[in-house]
Amino acid sequence: MNRETATTMFWWPARVLHWLMAAMILAMLFVGAGLVASVSERHAWLLALHKPLGIAILLLAVLRLALRLRHRPPPLPRDLAPAVRLAAHASHWLLYALMLAMPLIGWAMLSAGGYPVELGAGVRLPPIAPFDPTWFAALRWLHRALAYALFALVLAHLGAALYHGLIRRDGVLRSMLWRQRSAPD
């Protein structure tokens, strides 16, 4: 039973991190979109939330990547077309890349804009880029462009997961859920 579970399910810490980060990243995307589209007091408190949440995602993404490199995930079903298989792997590595890049770009962007990078409660991070408007402009643009790319990837990931779970019913979605039921039907 245990051996079976190990090969068809994601390792439990990977599952916990996946769902925790899914909620955090979705929240982060909505917080970012909301704060740039608001002049109300929401702008201020969304901004105050955005920065520590971004750093938390960065730290968890590093942890998750380390776990991912130690524990191989369960293999994809063998009958998937090679192009689909490639798309699945590429989108997962792209998701990892964006989880790491977005907080770093945001941090560097604030540094380049000359803003103190305050996380709240007196915690302030050092700048990681020079005070330079050209850097700020490039990083600000990139932060927005990659946020849209990340959201598009999240939508594709959600659609694909539901396709596996509801249409193909091949065990791929279940491998990230809590309970392994009997063999896939």
Residues that bind another protein (CB under 8 A): 26, 29-30, 33-44, 47, 77-79, 113-116, 122, 124, 131-134, 136-138, 140-141, 151, 154-155, 158-159, 162-163, 166-170, 185
Beta carbon of residue 165, minimum distance to another protein (angstroms, whole number) = 9
Which helix or strand (DSSP H or E) is residue 119 part of? Answer: strand 117-120
Cα–Cα distance between 25 and 54 in angstroms, integer? 8
Beta carbon of residue 62, minimum distance to another protein (angstroms, whole number) = 25
Cα–Cα distance between 125 and 136 in angstroms, integer? 17
For residues 45 and 63, is the Cβ–Cβ distance under 8 A?
A: no
Nearest to another protein of 68, 165 (CB atom):
165
Beta carbon of residue 169, minimum distance to another protein (angstroms, whole number) = 6
Which helix or strand (DSSP H or E) is residue 125 part of? Answer: strand 123-125
Residue for token pair 């039921």: 181
Beta carbon of residue 132, minimum distance to another protein (angstroms, whole number) = 8
Nearest to another protein of 69, 122 (CB atom):
122
